[in-house]
Amino acid sequence: MTDPTDPVEHAARLLAEATDMPTGIAKHEALERAARAADASGDKELPALCRLALIESCYYLNRYDLILAPIAWCHTAEQRDPSVFTTRGMRSLNWAHKWVPVGLRRDPRFTLAQIESVLGQLEARFQRFGFSLQPVWGQRALTATHVGDFELADEHFARFIATERDDMSDCAGCVVEEQVEHLVMRGRYEEALRHAEPALAGRFTCSTQPQGVLTALLPALTALGEVERAKNAHLLAYRQSREQASQGYVGLHLEFCAVTGNVPRGMELLRRHLDQVHHATSPIGTMNFAASTSLLLSRLDADHIELAVPQPGGGVEITTAGRLRAYLTTRALDLAEEFDKRNGTTRQSERVKSIMDAPDAVHVPLAVPNPIAPAEPVTADPVELAYRANLAYEDNDFLTGHRLLKSLPADLDPLLPTKLAAQLAARRAVVFPGPDVLDDLARAIQRLAELGDLDQAARFHARLGVFKAEAGDLDGGIATAEQALAQADAHASPTGRILVRLILCELLDNRHEHAHATRLLAEAGELAGETASERAASVRLEQGDHAARQGHFDDAAAIIDEVLAVPGLRPGDRFHALSARMSIAEIRGEVDLALRTSGELAEFVRGFPGPWQPAVLLHRASMVDNMDRAGEYLRELVDTVAVCRTEGTPLEIAQACFVLSSGYLAHDRLVEAAEALEEALRLLPQEDETALEATLRIRYRLGSVCAELGEHAQGRRHFQAMLELVGNAPAASQAMVWAGLGATGQALDEPAEAERCHRRAAELWAEAELPVESFRAWIKAAAVIADENPEMALETLARAETQIPDGDVADRLTAELLELRGYTYTQMARHAEALADNLRAVDLVVELGEPDWQIFLMVRAARSHLAMGAAETAEQLAKDSVELLGDETPPSIVARILDVLSRALETQSKPVSQDGTARMLSARLRS
């Protein structure tokens, strides 16, 4: 038992507790308390361990200025007795010396003499221990660049490039990042790109790479017009660095967005990182972020946009973009002046001004496009504009009428003739309905009636019936429209009598009173033929709709074709006709016609900005997605998002982004798909139950895409958020979420959690009567625990076996089960049972005709024979499996055969190098 009163054990416990805390100032303060306890404990090594932990904490906080105290303590301890540091601890101490000049350079309170002093100490220390001086030359180059001595910077940079790395150098990616930064700063863009490419083609183990290299390359890529590469670099680098704001990458991405025509995207990023206004981890970080943000805000059209800025003492300040820009501009210049005073140059002031005054670069379209430029309001004399708007609606050109009506000043009524003002008030209630549309429209109708405009009053009275029906009162809506018909027949013009009949016809069809609707349409046709020929097409279109509502699609299609053949068809009638043709084609399963007509309709509405554009384009996009052809129409899907961001609602934009993600996924463009899905999720109204289905759909896909990108923690957050929403959903829907959680748990190396989630998924699949899915979930649950708990894995596999259905898939599922059970028996050293299962699986796989799988199982069987002392049989199995190799067999499988064959030969004391099969396999792997 430990003694709680023992000072060494107390200090060790404090250190362990602090080490387990998440990165942050609270952890740093806990480590300081542990260090004080360690000093008082009398232990020899514990105080040094605490100081090394403090130094590491400074690194993760990006607070290199705090390193000075623990570094000084370590120097004193090292001089007194170096043995207080373990070999690993001494290496950590040597490594930390590279961080000291960084911290001093970033804070103008430290002098150039102090920076030069620690650089000298770093050089002397590395020489004393025989380390490469590459990090020293890198730090000297950065310092020379910081003060603006570019000739000296180039000199040190040349040494930095020429000096070999060793294990005390920064990781290869970070070294390349520093080199790329220098080349870009010197305007050597092509060289920077060439320098980075080999590193980007490799693999990175550092948490700040490849995002650091990619971010450093952004100015070079835009300067060289490498639009596609610039887009990919920005998207990938920001995704990987958005949780690393203290590293200073965010500001560079804000600059990129500002100069490449992506201000809306830049503002989204800025809102995520407004804490950096007052909480950057160093003065230079504050200065750089302030300059970058000032540049972005200078590109805004409106300075009054509100932003919530976290304050140093807690809480937030609501300020405008204009005020924030003014503050940050001053802050950046003031800090630059402090650095220049320290440095004795003007380098930092010039650099900050160059950032804030940066001109636009090449435009870089991103994954989620910007809104298109909105249509300019129509400018004309307001009274004339009002007459034109009213006339457009009277001519059944609602596409033009909407734009004109939208352009009218809200306070125009007193300037208009009373009757026109009343007509436009009623029109506004219909076109821009508010939450109280029934009351608003009723008042507008009463106003028309009081002015003696009984024709318009009757028409809008019929419209009131439509709104009542849409609110769920179909009977009330029909009664209202019938009242309007009586009024129209008594007082309205022929056009008014026609329009009211068309409205009532649709309402009656919805109540299945088709005969009555037919009579009304006949009357409307007679009126159009006798007195209002301009309404003939509208009547025929309603007759087509009437036929379609009764299921007479051939008749409906014939009427639509007839109308579309009419020359000079008015815009409103053309829109109606194309929409009807598309709908009928979809209902009849005429896929090509529906797709072709949707394209014609989409092209038609491009000339008429308005709320119908998102509806038309979204319908077409969904049609393409449902046909699994989103990849073919990617460019069109991008345009759809741009239009929806201009004319649509947040829900419509979210839907467009979701379909766009389908297009990106079809081309394996995972980062862009994730960006589109995150934008969709951001826009969905979180408390709106009508958006629940869309939320689940988007989160599930986003969680899956994050998993494919290796962002498993992010993927888990999306699946966990779904769990709170699917409690009452069908069992299959719940199972999909649990399966996603199981996969992320497995990827995060949490086998117990992964097993729990897969087990729950399996139970839910079984509840949904989907045995194959249940089987596979049980298999996954067993697989994640086969190494640590093989007994439970066997029990789980027994559950899986009960889910194997009869039929075509039985052999495949049985083979999968036998393969995993054989592996599990091997983990338990039950080699005879493992061999039996493997050989049974081989027989099944032979029938399935899958040679790579067969090879895998034969190699497994060979290993079981080796474990049972039957090396000769293992050798023969390995050589038999060679006959199954094909041109497309992966090298990993070839390597498995060679491995087990070599072991079998060595066990029999046969020289591997003289075996012909082993030589052939080795040659194949080398080639």
d(CA 841, CA 860): 11
User: pLDDT, tens digit, for every residue of 493-529?
Assistant: 999 999 999 999 999 999 999 999 999 999 999 999 9
- Please give the Cα distance from 526 to 536 (Å, whole number): 9
Look at residues 650, 648, 586, 593 and name the one whose alpha carbon lies nearest to residue 622: 586
Instruction: Fill in the DSSP letter of residue 389.
Output: H
Please report which confidence band the pLDDT of residue 151 belongs to, taking 50, 70 and 90 as the band edges.
Answer: very high
- Does 341 have pLDDT greater than 90? yes
Of 583 and 387, which is predicted with more confidence? Answer: 583
pLDDT at 750: 92
Give the pLDDT of residue 139: 93
Please give the pLDDT value at position 391: 87
CA distance 439 to 423: 16
**Helix, strand, or coil (residue 31):** helix
Reference 93, options 101, 102, 82; nearest CA is 82
For residue 542, pLDDT over 80 is answered with: yes
What pLDDT is stored for residue 123 in this prediction? 94
The predicted-structure confidence for 875-911, as pLDDT tens digits, reads as follows 898 898 888 888 888 888 889 889 989 999 999 998 9
Please say whether the beta carbons of 49 and 89 come within 8 A: yes
698-752 pLDDT per residue, tens: 999 999 999 999 889 899 999 999 988 888 888 998 999 999 999 999 999 999 9
**DSSP H helical segments within 804-890, as ranges?**
810-827, 831-848, 851-867, 871-882
Please, which pLDDT band fits residue 376 given cuts at 50, 70 and 90? low
Q: Is 209 exposed, middle or buried (0-12, 13-18, 19+ CB in 10 A)?
A: buried
Paired tokens of 915: 């075996």
Share of the chain above pLDDT 90, in %: 59
- What is the per-residue pLDDT for 379? 67
Query: Region 411-439: what's the mean pLDDT?
Result: 87
Residue carrying structure tokens 């117990």? 752
The mean pLDDT of the chain is 90
Identical fold for domains 417-522 and 833-927, yes or no, is yes
Q: What is the largest CA-CA distance in the chain?
A: 113
pLDDT of residue 378: 66
DSSP for 561-606, please give it.
HHHHTSTT--HHHHHHHHHHHHHHHHHTT-HHHHHHHHHHHHHHHT
The reply to whether the predicted model has a pTM over 0.85 is no
pLDDT of residue 1: 41
The topology (CATH level 3) of 833-927 is 1.25.40
Name the nearest CA neighbour of 121 among 79, 171, 165. Answer: 79
Mean pLDDT, residues 353-379:
85
pLDDT value at 807 more than 70: yes
Q: Looking at per-residue confidence, does 329 or 161 come out higher?
A: 329
Domain boundaries, the chain: 218-366, 417-522, 833-927
Residue 131: its pLDDT value, please? 93
469-480 mean pLDDT: 95
- What per-residue confidence (pLDDT) applies to 695? 87
The answer to whether the CB of 64 falls within 8 A of the CB of 115 is no
CATH class given for the domain over 417-522 = mainly alpha
Is residue 247 pLDDT above 70, yes or no? Answer: no
Q: Is the pLDDT of residue 246 over 70?
A: no
Residue 2, pLDDT above cutoff 80: no
Crossing angle for the helix pair 283-298 and 249-259, nearest 10 degrees? 20
Strands (E), 193-240: none
- pLDDT at residue number 179: 85
- Per the listing, tokens 């009304």 go with 520
Q: What is the pLDDT of residue 740?
A: 93
Confidence check: pLDDT of 687 > 80? no
Q: Which of 14-28, 59-73, 144-158 has the highest mean pLDDT?
A: 144-158
Looking at 107-111, 172-176, 632-636, which range is the least confident one?
Answer: 172-176
